[in-house]
């Protein structure tokens, strides 16, 4: 452990710049003074810091919400630090209880292996694969064995474990907590010990787990890691966290046209958080763009810029240009100059409710039938998701060839 004081590792302008990169868009950086000390030591010694991100392969694909933490990893990677992309093939068998009010069914080994096969390939669309250390936590968790598990469990108390918010709520409500769930934070924390990480990154829902890693490193005589939490990205509905189970996601494997169109479907309010968490544009440029929109510039201009950036990141600049051209062609085709203006309250609304309330379908069931037939478009894009929820904002809705409405949704 390095016992040098901050004065022995000068805090240079480069160190302050690295701290600013770390803080951009983040929810918390704990403890900030320790991270500054680590950055100063790294700058003085030329030894890169070890930065860890763990993802459990509980689904076969990564969505845009996952890239919030991947983007932060890439930013720190570009500063010269070592990033460790940890695939939680062992912890996936337990199931992360974060934010849950019931026990998560454990995945089988076969499910985990099938999902893990695509994870790193997709993460490499954000990270620099040549400079990324890829690890699987079964490397050290499987050999731990029963004796090692008991020794690990002895380093953390039940009282501290039950301080975790979701465990506390379930315990008070009388909902069951399986013993194996208590092992999850311990095993994630042990990953930090095994990897000797200097910083662990995660969503805000991972704060407890990250702090356990910090505590266990101290128990094993290591310098404790700092933790950096990133906000959870709301999905296409602008309300719920992006999730496949809520069908409000954009998969980074979506084709270019779909990715572009889905990004344009988010609300004008949601767009700015997406800019902060997903765009690589300088903060000053985003702030200027926001001022221009507030001064009267069409917010769709900004949204197109965001859609172009995200599509280019995952498909290349040429595909992004083609997707924009395709979108504009479809959006412009056949839309009359004068169409009815409809204002609806109660966002988010399902697409079926919107069509009925806007007078574009006689009933919700008829609206769903029209969607099944491919007869519904929003801003030129065919809608196939009957469960789609639309957040506050304005869009052009087309049903069939002749029915149009410019619909403004408010909360």
Q: What are phi and psi of 50, to 5 degrees?
A: -100, 120
Specify the DSSP element, H or E, that contains 397: strand 393-399
pLDDT for position 1: 43
| Secondary structure of residue 390 in the 3-state scheme | strand
Q: What are phi and psi of 224, to 5 degrees?
A: -65, 145
Question: What is the spatial distance between Cα 120 and Cα 104, in angstroms, rounded to a whole number?
Answer: 24
How many residues are present in the chain?
411
The pLDDT profile of the chain, 411 residues, written as one tens digit per residue, is 444 444 578 899 999 999 999 999 999 999 999 999 999 999 999 999 999 999 888 777 789 999 999 999 999 999 999 999 999 989 888 876 665 545 556 677 788 888 877 888 888 889 998 899 999 999 999 999 999 999 999 999 989 988 888 888 888 888 888 888 889 999 999 999 999 999 999 999 999 999 999 999 999 999 999 999 999 999 988 888 898 777 788 988 889 988 998 898 888 889 999 999 999 898 899 999 999 999 988 888 999 999 999 999 999 999 999 988 888 776 665 566 577 888 898 888 899 999 999 999 989 888 888 888 878 888 777 787 888 888 877 888 888 877 888 888 887
The angle formed by the CA atoms of residues 200, 273 and 205, to the nearest 5 degrees, is 35
Question: What is the spatial distance between Cα 403 and Cα 375, in angstroms, rounded to a whole number?
Answer: 10
Going by C-alpha positions, the residue among 279, 299, 373, 382 that lies closest to residue 64 is: 279
Question: What is the spatial distance between Cα 68 and Cα 159, in angstroms, rounded to a whole number?
Answer: 32
pLDDT for position 4: 45
Can you read off the two tokens belonging to residue 62? 């990564």
Question: What is the spatial distance between Cα 85 and Cα 119, in angstroms, rounded to a whole number?
Answer: 10
Rounded to the nearest 5 percent, the helix, strand and coil shares of the chain are 50, 15, 35
Q: Is 84 in contact with 135 (CB distance < 8 Å)?
A: yes
Strands 50-55 and 82-87: parallel
Specify the DSSP element, H or E, that contains 354: helix 351-357
Can you read off the two tokens belonging to residue 200? 């662990």
Going by C-alpha positions, the residue among 340, 328, 346, 343 that lies closest to residue 237 is: 346
The angle formed by the CA atoms of residues 230, 232 and 238, to the nearest 5 degrees, is 145
Question: What is the spatial distance between Cα 376 and Cα 265, in angstroms, rounded to a whole number?
Answer: 14
Could you report how far apart the first and last alpha carbons of the chain are, in Å? 53
Question: What is the spatial distance between Cα 319 and Cα 298, in angstroms, rounded to a whole number?
Answer: 24
Q: Is 150 in contact with 53 (CB distance < 8 Å)?
A: no
Running DSSP on this structure, what letter comes out for residue 197? -
Specify the DSSP element, H or E, that contains 227: strand 226-230
**pTM for the whole structure:** 0.74
Running DSSP on this structure, what letter comes out for residue 380? T
Q: Is 223 in contact with 4 (CB distance < 8 Å)?
A: no
| Secondary structure of residue 91 in the 3-state scheme | helix
Domains and CATH numbers, the chain: 6-230 (3.40.50.620), 234-332 (1.10.240.10), 336-411 (3.10.290.10)
């Amino acid at each position: 452990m390095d016992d040098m004081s901050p004065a022995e590792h000068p805090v240079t302008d480069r160190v302050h710049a690295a701290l600013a990169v770390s803080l951009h868009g983040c929810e918390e950086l704990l403890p900030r003074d320790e991270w500054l000390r680590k950055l100063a030591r790294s700058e003085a010694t030329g030894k890169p810091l070890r930065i860890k991100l763990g993802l459990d392969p509980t689904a076969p694909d990564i969505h845009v919400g996952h890239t919030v933490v991947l983007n932060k990893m890439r930013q720190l990677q570009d500063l010269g630090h070592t990033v460790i992309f940890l695939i939680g093939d062992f912890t996936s068998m337990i199931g992360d209880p974060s934010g849950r009010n019931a026990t998560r069914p454990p995945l089988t080994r076969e499910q985990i292996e099938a999902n893990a096969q695509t994870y790193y390939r997709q993460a490499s669309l954000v990270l620099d694969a040549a400079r990324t250390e890829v690890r699987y936590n079964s490397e050290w968790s499987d050999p731990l064995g029963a004796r090692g598990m008991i020794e690990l469990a002895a380093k953390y108390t039940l009282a501290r474990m039950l301080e975790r918010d979701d465990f506390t709520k379930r315990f008070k409500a009388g909902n069951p907590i399986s013993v194996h769930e208590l092992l999850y934070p311990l095993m994630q924390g042990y990953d930090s010990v095994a990897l000797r990480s200097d910083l662990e990154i995660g969503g805000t829902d991972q704060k407890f787990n990250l702090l356990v890693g910090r505590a266990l490193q101290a128990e094993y005589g290591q310098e404790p890691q700092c933790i950096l939490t990133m906000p959870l990205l709301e999905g296409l509905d602008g309300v719920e966290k992006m999730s496949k189970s809520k069908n409000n996601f954009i998969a980074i494997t979506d084709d270019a046209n779909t990715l572009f169109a889905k990004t344009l479907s988010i609300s004008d309010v949601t767009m700015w958080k997406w800019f902060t968490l997903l765009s690589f544009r300088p903060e000053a440029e985003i702030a200027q763009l926001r001022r221009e929109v507030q001064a009267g510039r069409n917010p769709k201009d900004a949204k197109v810029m965001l859609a172009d950036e995200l599509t280019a990141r995952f498909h290349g600049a040429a595909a992004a240009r083609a997707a924009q051209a395709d979108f504009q062609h479809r959006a412009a085709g056949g839309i009359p100059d004068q169409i009815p203006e409809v204002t609806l309250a109660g966002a988010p609304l399902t697409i079926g409710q919107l069509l009925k309330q806007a007078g574009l379908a006689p009933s919700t069931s008829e609206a769903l039938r029209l969607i099944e037939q491919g007869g519904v478009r929003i801003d030129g894009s065919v809608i196939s998701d009957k469960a789609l929820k639309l957040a506050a904002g304005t869009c052009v809705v087309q049903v069939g060839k002749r029915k149009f409405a410019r619909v403004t949704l408010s909360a």
